[in-house]
Structures are given as structure tokens and as C-alpha cells.
């Protein structure tokens, strides 16, 4: 009750524009769809409470937001001060330097310069009219015209209009470069070198009792796209394998695009400190560079992975993040017999989009190369996931690393062909791993879902 009363007093100090700024600062923490519906401070605080980002025991994020937006006097309502928040930010801060940089940019630009900058930006008229500068920046980010590691578009525009504000952009770039150099130094201290050997120092740690979370999104029933028969076999096989590898496995079925984003937020907000790794498997229909929710709306693969970069999920920094995607990345003629593709519908091939973030310690295992279909047997499951599970079970006990395992998966899948004998498939791994990833051999033998089923039948 006292906590809610405090939040109401904080809201009294906020105007409509303040709420919009706080929403912008929270973009990396709360679903954009959820933020769209927020009209007041109270509604924003409720969203933060729903995500357990603030509660009666820990509301530092609120103090951080008030500090960034210079509501220093309002900090008294939280029984803290500007100096206390400033001291705690390096350890407890959740708002990224990039998000703060964009906000500061919007604060320091004059009305005349803003009009000139917006005029120079390569946006359609409807994306410029009646928009605040923060909304324009948000749109540029959504279109991937600006990113944490690339503000060249803004730099070129401000160079022509406002040399004074340009200094702020230069300062941000220097800060980002210094941070990257610092990470490189840390990696050097940890003996992380491009050359891979069998040295113990060049293998990711896998010592925790629970290796990590394994999220499996299994989409089967779509609004208009064809039902993905056989996908449950894939999901069950993945669950069995990663449980065997000592992961905390969570399967969710039939998620629409918003629900996928909510899941990503939920898992990126978790504390991974006592985990070694993170795994995400997505079984669905897809198009070039994207996967589909059951509402037939696309979710960019790059955006999925961006939730787990070192800046957005600090407890996973320097730890491997593995993503396995069973979905078409292009459109082929409809296959015959028991073989289906995971494309939504035939259409023109879209331009290729680079999926993997420019961030260390990621691995993306795609079931097929861009522009091509990915096949699934209605009875046996998909070619890729079944080959992945089979080779994990066979090669982990031999202490093979994940890239060797995926190379064998490529070989196995490339040999497969459907009943007509003409359609092939080639998986594609991409990675920015800095060490070998070797799952420790489990202490118990693997039992497949089929074997478990037979055991249960024999005991009944």
C-alpha cells in the first residue's frame, strides 16, 4: 500500500511529455506493444511491476529513470538522492548507454535544428509529420537505420546542421569504442583468442548445476498458414535432449508475435548469473530473416537475438547464447507426400537480412540457408531438428564441440531428400563464439521420448 502510494506521488510530478520520455527509455525492458497502450505514469509503473522490474523491495529502476530525466527533486519521494543514484548506477543501472544517448540528443537539439535534421533524414513524409524527435529516433531504430554500434546517419545529418550537438555524437562513439576495447582487453585477460585449440582456457565454462535456461517456442496452429504437423515430435525431442544436458527447459505452444516478444523480455530479464549458457529453439513458419507468430505476423530473427546482447542482458555477458531456428527462409514449390515445408505461402523472395548480432558469444543454427525451404516430416519431425538432437546425443559423450556437431548435422541433412527425390536442404550455422563450446557428458544415459513411451507401456 505504501509503495503504491509512493508511485502515485511520483506520477503527480510527471507531465504527459515526461511519461512519453520514460516510455522511450523503457523500450528495451517492456514490449513495444505494451508501451503503445500506456497513457499515464500509473500505467507505465504497472507495466514495470508486471515485469517485476520494480517492486516494494527494489525500485531502483524508477530512481534511475528519474535521475536520467533530471527529476532530482522527485527522488526525495523514493527516499534517495541524486548522488546515491549516481553511485549505484554502474552496478545496478538497466537503461543502456545508447538509449540515454538518444534521449540526451533529443533534449539538446533546438526546434529549428530539429526541423532541419528531420528534413535530411531518409524517411517517408508520414514518418516525419507531427512526430516528436524521440518518435523519429525510435522509427530510425526500428528500421535499423541506427543501432547501438552505428550512428553514422545521425552523425552525417548533425554535421550539416549542428556542429555543437555533433560533439555529443562523437563522445558517444568514443565511449562505445572504449567499451569495445575494454571488452577486448577482458577477453584477452581471459585468454580468448580467435585460434581454437583444446586448451582448457579456450573452452566456455560449463560448471553450474543447471547449465542454463532452454526456451522452446513450438508453433503449430496458425490463423491462415498451414498447420505444422510433426512439430510436437521436434519439441519433445529437444526437451528430452536439453533436460539430459541439465538445462531448465520451458516449452510454450502457439505463440503470436506479441507473446514471442513477451517471452523474450521475460527470459532476458531473468538472472543468468548462476547459469553457463542460454538456449532458444523456435519451431514455426518463416520468411527471409524472420519467423512467424501464430497470428502470421513476422518477428525478425536479429531482433530476437538482440534481447540477449551483453548490454541488454548483463548476466549473460561472455556466456554462449545459442539459437536454433526450424523455419523456412524462402519459398519453394509445395512438396508432395509426407514432406512439408515451413514456408508460410509462396511469394517473391525477399532480400537477405543479416540475422546474427555484431556481438560476441552468439550461435545461430538455421535449418536452411536464406531463400530456401526447410522440410518437416508429418510423422517423424523436421530433418534439421531430428538430426540436431541425434548428433547431440551421439557426439556430446565424445566431448565434441558444438561447431563440430553442427558440421555433422549439415552433412546428415544434406544427404536427405524427400520421396520425389529432387528437393534438398542445407542448414546454416552462423556464430560469433570466442571459445569452444563443449557440453559436459551427462552422468546418465539418454532416453528418447519413444523409449520412455515404450517403458511406460510395458509397466502398465
Check: CB of residue 118 under 8 Å from CB of residue 133.
yes
Q: Which CATH architecture has domain 100-189?
A: Orthogonal Bundle (1.10)
Domain boundaries along the sequence of the chain = 2-95, 100-189, 201-459
User: Domain 2-95 falls in which CATH fold?
Assistant: Death Domain, Fas (1.10.533)
Query: Which residues are known catalytic residues?
Result: 285, 328
Check: CB of residue 357 under 8 Å from CB of residue 149.
no
* Beta strands in 59-133, from DSSP E residues, in sequence order: none
Span 158-185, average pLDDT: 73
**Dist CA 293 CA 299 (whole Å):** 7
Span 336-342, average pLDDT: 48
Q: What pLDDT shows up at residue 454?
A: 59
pLDDT one-digit tens code per residue, 28-47: 888 878 898 999 999 999 99
Give kind and range of the element (H or E) at residue 299: strand 298-300
Pick the closest to residue 362 from 427, 294, 437 (CA basis): 437
Span 347-355, average pLDDT: 42
pLDDT of residue 179 exceeding 70: no
pLDDT above 70: percentage of residues in the chain: 82
Q: What pLDDT shows up at residue 225?
A: 82
CATH topology agreement for domains 2-95 and 100-189: yes
Q: What pLDDT shows up at residue 337?
A: 39
Pick the closest to residue 375 from 409, 326, 305 (CA basis): 326
Q: What is the DSSP code (8-state) at residue 319?
A: S
| End-to-end C-alpha distance for the chain, whole angstroms | 54
pLDDT of residue 199 exceeding 50: no
pLDDT of residue 303 exceeding 60: yes
Residues in the chain: 460
Cα dihedral 383/354/35/37 (nearest 10): -70
Per CATH, the number for 201-459 is 3.40.50.1460
Q: What pLDDT shows up at residue 338?
A: 47
pLDDT one-digit tens code per residue, 89-145: 888 888 988 999 999 999 988 888 888 888 888 877 776 677 888 888 888 888 889
Place of cell 539430459: 244
Amino acid at each position: 500500500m505504501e509503495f503504491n502510494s509512493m508511485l502515485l506521488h511520483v506520477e503527480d510530478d510527471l507531465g504527459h511529455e515526461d511519461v512519453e520520455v520514460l516510455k522511450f527509455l523503457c523500450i528495451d525492458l517492456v514490449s513495444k506493444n505494451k508501451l503503445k497502450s500506456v497513457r499515464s505514469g500509473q500505467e507505465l509503473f504497472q507495466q514495470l511491476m508486471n515485469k517485476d522490474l520494480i517492486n516494494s523491495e527494489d525500485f531502483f529502476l524508477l530512481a534511475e529513470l528519474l535521475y536520467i530525466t533530471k527529476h532530482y527533486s522527485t527522488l526525495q519521494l523514493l527516499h534517495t538522492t541524486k548522488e546515491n543514484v549516481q553511485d549505484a548506477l554502474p552496478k545496478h543501472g538497466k537503461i543502456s548507454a545508447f538509449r540515454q544517448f538518444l534521449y540526451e540528443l533529443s533534449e539538446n537539439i533546438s526546434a529549428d535544428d530539429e526541423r532541419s535534421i528531420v528534413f535530411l533524414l531518409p524517411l517517408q513524409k508520414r514518418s516525419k509529420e507531427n512526430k516528436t524527435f524521440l518518435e523519429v529516433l525510435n522509427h530510425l531504430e526500428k528500421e535499423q537505420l541506427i543501432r547501438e554500434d552505428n550512428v553514422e546517419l545521425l552523425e552525417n545529418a548533425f554535421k550539416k546542421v549542428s556542429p555543437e550537438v555533433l560533439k555529443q555524437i562523437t563522445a558517444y562513439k568514443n565511449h562505445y569504442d572504449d567499451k569495445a576495447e575494454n571488452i577486448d582487453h577482458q577477453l584477452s585477460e581471459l585468454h580468448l583468442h580467435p585460434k581454437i585449440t583444446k586448451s582448457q582456457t579456450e573452452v566456455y565454462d560449463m560448471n553450474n548445476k543447471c547449465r542454463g535456461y532452454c526456451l522452446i517456442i513450438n508453433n503449430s496452429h496458425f490463423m491462415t498458414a498451414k498447420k505444422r504437423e510433426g512439430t510436437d515430435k521436434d519439441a519433445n525431442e529437444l526437451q528430452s535432449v536439453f533436460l539430459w544436458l541439465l538445462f531448465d527447459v520451458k516449452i510454450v505452444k502457439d505463440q503470436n508475435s506479441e507473446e514471442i516478444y513477451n517471452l523474450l523480455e521475460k527470459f532476458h530479464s531473468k538472472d543468468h548469473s548462476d547459469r553457463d549458457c542460454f538456449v532458444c529453439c523456435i519451431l514455426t513458419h518463416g520468411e527471409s530473416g524472420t519467423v512467424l507468430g501464430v497470428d502470421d505476423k513476422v518477428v525478425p530473427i536479429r531482433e530476437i537475438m538482440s534481447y540477449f546482447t551483453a548490454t541488454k542482458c548483463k548476466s549473460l555477458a561472455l556466456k554462449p547464447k545459442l539459437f536454433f531456428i526450424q523455419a523456412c527462409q524462402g519459398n519453394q514449390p509445395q512438396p508432395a507426400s509426407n514432406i512439408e515445408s515451413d514456408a508460410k505461402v509462396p511469394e517473391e523472395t525477399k532480400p537477405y537480412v543479416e540475422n546474427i548480432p555484431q556481438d560476441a558469444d552468439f550461435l545461430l543454427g538455421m535449418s536452411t540457408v536464406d531463400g530456401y525451404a526447410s522440410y518437416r516430416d508429418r510423422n517423424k519431425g523436421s530433418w534439421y531438428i531430428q538430426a540436431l538432437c541425434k548428433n547431440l546425443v551421439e557426439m556430446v559423450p565424445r566431448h565434441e564441440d558444438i561447431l563440430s556437431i553442427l558440421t555433422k548435422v549439415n552433412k546428415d541433412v544434406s544427404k536427405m531428400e524427400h520421396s520425389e527425390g529432387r528437393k534438398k536442404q542445407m542448414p546454416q550455422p552462423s556464430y560469433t563464439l570466442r571459445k569452444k563450446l563443449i557440453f559436459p557428458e551427462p552422468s546418465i544415459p539418454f532416453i528418447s521420448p519413444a523409449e520412455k513411451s515404450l517403458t511406460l507401456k510395458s509397466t502398465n
